[in-house]
Amino acid sequence: MATYKKRGNKVKKGNQGSIEDQSTTAEVFNTLDETASRSEQWVEKNQKIIFTGLIVIAGIILAFLAYNKYVIEPKEKEAADELAFPKRYFEEAQNTSVAVDSLYNLSLNGTDGKYGLIDIVDNYGSTKAGNLAKYMSGIAFLKTGDYESAIKYLSDFSSEDEMLAALAKGNIGDAFVEIGQPEDGLQYYLEAARVKDNNFTSPLYLFRAGNIAMELGKFKDAEGYYQTIKDNYPKSEEAKNIDIFIQRAQIAQK
């Protein structure tokens, strides 16, 4: 007689994996629940500190906005209004050849109770108008022969306008050359040439750098500056007779 063999209760492999997955998911959710619970407890425990911190941050933001609106903006406008008077004399001096020193002095010192550029720098130096007044003061001092003051004011000037920044550095270079510090002048000419690559300030100050380098006996460097003008700025004013200067620098090296 055939004997019936009772099969053992085996768990299918697929079911086992499903159970393990469910167990892992449960553990993840339990961990998340525990983390959330601890976070809630921490928030409840420190809610006073958090609330105070939020108030402080909001206060700082509101104070900044109020300071900007009621202090900075009015001061900017006031400085711009004050600058209009000396700026008129400065621009007139830039566009005429008659009584230039007198006009520059009026722009620097003011008259009839009106602020000059120096006053604006002293009283509104942190404003945009005050910053521009530093540049104008530097140029005015340079034009009237006070080269050390020119260096001081132009060095304090800063601008996001790369062209104006290049001109400021170039004029500092001019001032250093005038007071007998050609090495410093050369350094500023090179900085001015590199502020913004263009067909005006770059060849202009490379040319001046070349001339000063020739005076200092740095003939090879001078040749390099002149050659850069020829190669990179062939349409510039300085490039018109640049071959002559290149040849001079080459001959000086022999």
- What does the pLDDT average to over 134-162? 97
Instruction: Report the candidate in 54, 145, 65, 67 with the shortest Cα–Cα distance to residue 101.
Output: 145
Distance CA 115, CA 111 (A): 7
Distance CA 211, CA 207 (A): 6
Percent of the chain with pLDDT over 90: 65
pLDDT at 144: 96
Confidence of residue 254 (pLDDT cuts 50, 70, 90): confident
Distance CA 186, CA 207 (A): 10
Task: With a cut of 70, say whether residue 16 has pLDDT above it.
Answer: no
Which one has a higher pLDDT value, 23 or 159?
159
Distance CA 101, CA 94 (A): 10
Name the average pLDDT for the chain.
Answer: 84
CATH class of 164-254: mainly alpha
Q: Are 204 and 229 in contact (CB under 8 A)?
A: no
100-109 and 73-94 helices, crossing angle to 10°: 170
- What does the pLDDT average to over 28-44? 61
User: 35-39, 199-203, 228-232 — which is least confidently predicted?
Assistant: 35-39
Domain parsing of the chain, residue ranges = 49-158, 164-254
pLDDT at 19: 47
Type of residue found at 221: D
Q: Judge residue 115's burial from the number of C-beta atoms within 10 Å of its C-beta, 0-12 exposed, 13-18 middle, 19 or more buried.
A: buried
pLDDT at 44: 67
The DSSP symbol for 238 reads G
Q: Which two tokens stand for residue 30?
A: 């339990």
- What does the pLDDT average to over 37-59? 68
- What does the pLDDT average to over 40-54? 68
Task: With a cut of 80, say whether residue 160 has pLDDT above it.
Answer: yes
- What does the pLDDT average to over 25-37? 58
pLDDT at 97: 79
Distance CA 146, CA 101 (A): 11
Residue 186 vs residues 173, 180, 199, 201, 203: alpha-carbon distances, Å: 7, 12, 19, 14, 14
User: 28-37, 141-150, 176-185 — which is least confidently predicted?
Assistant: 28-37
User: 12-26, 29-43, 100-114, 236-250 — which is least confidently predicted?
Assistant: 12-26
pLDDT at 18: 52
Q: Judge residue 202's burial from the number of C-beta atoms within 10 Å of its C-beta, 0-12 exposed, 13-18 middle, 19 or more buried.
A: buried
pLDDT digits (tens, 9 = 90+) for 62-96: 665 554 554 567 778 888 999 999 999 999 999 98
User: 72-86, 121-135, 177-191 — which is least confidently predicted?
Assistant: 72-86
